[in-house]
Amino acid sequence: MQRRRIIGGEIRIIGKETKNIEEQPLELGKTTEYHSRKNVTKKVLKMSSKEALEKGVPKQTLSDMKKRLRKNTKKFNWKTKAARKLLR
């Protein structure tokens, strides 16, 4: 193993299941990425309708998502098309 030069950016949690990470080029797009539910929830609740529209999510959909998140975070379905767009 040799040292690699990296430029700091955002912190991404990729999990310990990543195989042969030393042999892969330094691209996180190919690895499995995990998001903290708490951080993602805060991000969506703070998101403006303008930001959501830029990501392709209508204002009403964002409003409905925020209501459901405030009601019950654990039962919220993060696998919907709109939720995945917001996580990009």
Distance CA 2, CA 27 (A): 17
- Examine residue 71 and state whether it is found in any structural domain, yes or no: yes
Does residue 82 form part of some domain?
Answer: yes
The answer to whether position 77 is within a domain reads yes
| Structure-token pair, residue 82 | 């709109």
* pTM assigned to the model: 0.59
Domain that holds residue 58: 36-87
pLDDT at 13 (0 to 100)? 61
CB 55 within 8 A of CB 88: yes
Convert the pLDDT of each residue in 8-64 to its tens digit: 666 666 565 555 556 656 555 555 556 678 888 999 999 999 999 999 999 999 999
Name the residue with tokens 């998101």: 47
Q: Which residue from 44, 6, 40 is spatially nearest to 26, judged by alpha carbons?
A: 6
Which tops the pLDDT comparison, 30 or 84?
84
Residue 64 lies in a domain: yes
Domain count, the chain: 1
